[in-house]
């Protein structure tokens, strides 16, 4: 396949999240079609979008000359569908989690690289303007070496029967932690969880990560919590940075403790970050990568690193 058609994308899956991807790729003028097995969902798509093709079978979508497949299907299907699309010569965007096993994620990433295909994982928070600003700011070195990142993602949310809150909520935060720390190699994982509502399906999880660079992170998530709490805190050598996702604020705290354990506090500064819809930015980034053939920010390697941490933490939850 040489070149990229203007309408270059088929979205597979038109459910709760798929409909958002359909809307954004359509708005960007890139949506060629939608593949969906559920007749009611197909009917809803046909009602809202009159200028696209609709497929009842995934294999029919693969037979088209459209360059890219976007997967918004249940997580257990991701590996098989993504590999089938890559083998068919398609570029692939796959929603989080990339797969449910590290070895499957690695196979997808390696195959995409070997075939020169674009493989992108839907780690949405990496395209959140506030997170992008934090990443770029930390790269300047003004805050000094980043030592620790802590994230919280808690609310009274939709409880799943087939997966725990760690696999449902944490992929975004794991991807952010890796991004803000500079993608270090994992050294150790400690995890604890509580299954309050259903046996063996954790509703509250806290994971501590140690990396070979000496950096660390803590990720806390729950879907059984009275308040909506979503934050990212960066502890660096010279400054601390706090992103409050609900309020959409980024605050630089000019505070640190020196090697002599002396405390310094030179006040705070609220950063103005342009408001943009992260999903639209993410979809546009995928389209840009289709044209330029560059690796996405959330590429296959990023997906592998995230799944490795998710899977390792899952093992410790059952110790």
Sequence-distant (6+) residues with CB within 8 A of 224 are 156, 159, 165, 196, 197, 203, 204
Note the pLDDT of residue 208: 98
Encode burial over 145-165: b for 16+ CB neighbours within 10 A, e otherwise.
Answer: ebbbbbbbbbbebeeeeebbb
Note the pLDDT of residue 274: 77
Residue found under tokens 């890796």: 178
Name the pTM for this structure: 0.93
**Residue stretches of the chain with pLDDT short of 50:** 1-3
Dmax (CA) for the chain in angstroms is: 67
Note the pLDDT of residue 1: 40
The per-residue pLDDT for range 69-96, each reduced to its tens digit, is 999 999 999 999 999 999 999 999 999 9
d(CA 263, CA 259) in angstroms, rounded, equals 10
Note the pLDDT of residue 162: 82
d(CA 277, CA 103) in angstroms, rounded, equals 33
Are 15 and 7 spatial neighbours (Cβ–Cβ below 8 Å)?
Answer: no
Integer CA distances (angstroms), 30 to 60, 66, 70, 170, 318, in order: 19, 10, 11, 29, 44
Note the pLDDT of residue 191: 97
Integer CA distances (angstroms), 118 to 3, 11, 60, 194, 230, in order: 13, 16, 21, 38, 31
For each of the domains in the chain, give its residue range(s) and CATH number, in order of start.
Answer: 9-122+279-297 (3.40.50.720), 126-278+310-317 (3.30.360.10)
The per-residue pLDDT for range 25-61, each reduced to its tens digit, is 999 999 999 999 999 999 999 999 999 999 999 999 9
d(CA 170, CA 191) in angstroms, rounded, equals 13
Residue found under tokens 């560059």: 294
Sequence-distant (6+) residues with CB within 8 A of 311 are 100, 101, 102
Note the pLDDT of residue 2: 40
E strand or H helix at 257: strand 249-257
Using CA atoms of 135, 240, 153, 274 in order, give the dihedral in degrees to the nearest 10: -50
Note the pLDDT of residue 273: 87
Instruction: Tell me the β-bridge partners of 210.
Output: 188, 216
Of the candidates 116, 52, 63, the residue with the CA atom closest to the CA atom of residue 85: 63
Burial class (CB in 10 A: 0-12, 13-18, 19+), 200: exposed
Are 310 and 166 spatial neighbours (Cβ–Cβ below 8 Å)?
Answer: yes
d(CA 34, CA 54) in angstroms, rounded, equals 5
Token pair, residue 317, equals 């939850």
Are 297 and 131 spatial neighbours (Cβ–Cβ below 8 Å)?
Answer: no
159 DSSP assignment: P
């Amino acid at each position: 396949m040489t070149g990229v058609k203007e309408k270059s994308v088929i979205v597979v899956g038109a459910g709760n999240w798929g409909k958002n991807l359909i809307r954004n790729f359509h708005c960007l003028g890139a949506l060629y079609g939608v593949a969906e097995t559920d007749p009611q969902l197909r009917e809803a798509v046909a009602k809202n979008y009159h200028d696209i093709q609709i497929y009842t079978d995934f294999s029919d979508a693969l037979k088209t000359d459209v360059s890219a497949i976007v997967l918004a299907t249940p997580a257990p299907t991701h590996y098989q569908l993504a590999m089938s699309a890559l083998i068919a010569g398609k570029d692939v965007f796959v929603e989080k989690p990339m797969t449910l096993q590290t070895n499957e994620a690695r196979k997808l990433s390696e195959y995409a690289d070997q075939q020169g295909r674009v493989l992108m994982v839907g780690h949405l928070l990496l395209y959140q303007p506030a997170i992008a600003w934090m990443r770029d700011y930390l790269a300047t070195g003004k805050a000094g070496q980043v030592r620790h990142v802590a994230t919280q993602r808690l609310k009274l949310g939709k409880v799943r029967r087939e997966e725990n809150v760690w696999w449902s909520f944490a992929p975004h935060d794991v991807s952010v932690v890796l991004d803000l720390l500079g993608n270090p190699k994992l050294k150790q994982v400690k995890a604890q969880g509580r299954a309050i509502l259903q046996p063996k399906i954790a509703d509250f999880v806290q994971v501590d990560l140690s990396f070979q660079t000496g950096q660390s992170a803590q990720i806390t998530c729950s879907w059984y919590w009275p308040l909506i709490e979503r934050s990212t805190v960066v502890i660096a050598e010279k400054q601390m940075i706090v992103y409050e996702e609900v309020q959409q604020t980024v605050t630089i705290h000019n505070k640190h403790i020196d090697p002599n354990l002396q405390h310094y506090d030179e006040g705070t500064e609220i950063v103005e970050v342009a408001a943009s819809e992260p999903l639209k930015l993410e979809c546009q980034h995928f389209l840009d990568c289709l044209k330029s053939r560059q690796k996405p920010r959330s590429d296959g390697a990023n997906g592998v690193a995230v799944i490795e941490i998710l899977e390792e933490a899952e093992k410790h939850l059952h110790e």
